[in-house]
Amino acid sequence: MAQDSYTLYGSFLSAPTYKVALMLGLCDIKFAYRHIDLAKGQHRSPEYLAINRYGQVPALAHDGRNLCQSDAILSYLAETTGKFGGAPAERWTIQEWLHWEVDRLYPGMSRTRFYTKFLKPEPPVLDTYRKMAETALDDLNRFLGGKQWLVGSGPTIADIACYAMVQQAHDGQLDLSARRDITAWCKRIEALPGYMPWAQAMPKMDRDAA
């Protein structure tokens, strides 16, 4: 594989895949795409498990490596491209945000979306995840508190990771309108050069690097 060729393995329904596709777009990196059909169990096939040992999407192949876990992929891209990694003194705070996103934001947002849009579980199940999502969104709004970006004076992978989760709110019928710091922050991210909304960033089928 050529050193600067990138292949993203993912699913167009997956927010963690969008997170990586968004980062690649913002870094102006062209990538080949391989669709992994979760409904058909392709993520558990021996071929795919050789790429992502966790049997999940996304994965990113680059420079002879198969990278997995979306936030680890963002950290790798920030380091190798020199973009969105923040100042050296900010790196640990950025890592805190990535861990918070996986721990607090992702579970509530993704499951509220999944259970609202695709599967209709018993009400207590959906209510539990909805409450988790609402609390995380309130916390994010409070953390932003008039700031432009989550860490420092410019956009970083902390913003990209959290944004990819927050923008599922509509599908989960979660209302952002009263959370003014979040809506203003989303607009700032959407104005960055190379930004692509989910539907545009995520191919529905395999494609080679453009």
Ligand X SMILES: N[C@@H](CCC(=O)N[C@@H](CS)C(=O)NCC(=O)O)C(=O)O
Token pair 């989550």: residue:
150
57 vs 151, beta carbon nearer ligand X: 57
Which of 7, 70, 141, 168 is the binder for ligand X (CB under 6 A)?
70
8 A C-beta contact, residue 168 and residue 202: no
Q: Which stretch binds ligand X (CB under 6 A): 49-57, 90-98, 123-131, 185-193?
A: 49-57
Q: Are 74 and 159 in contact (CB under 8 A)?
A: no
Binding region for ligand X (CB under 6 A) out of 54-62, 92-100, 129-137, 174-182 = 54-62
From 9-17, 128-136, 141-149, 162-170, give the range in contact with ligand X by CB under 6 A: 9-17
C-alpha neighbours within 13 Å on the C-beta side of residue 171: 21
Using omega within 30 degrees of 0 as the cis cutoff, is the peptide bond preceding 155 cis?
no
Looking at beta carbons only, is 71 or 159 nearer to ligand X?
A: 71
Cα radius of gyration rounded to whole Å, the chain: 17
Residues 87-126 that bind ligand X (CB under 6 A): 102
* Residue in 7, 56, 141, 167 binding ligand X, rule: CB under 6 A: 56
**Among 147, 135, 134, 133, which residue's Cα sits nearest to residue 181?**
147
Q: Output the smallest distance, CB 145 to ligand X, in A.
A: 26
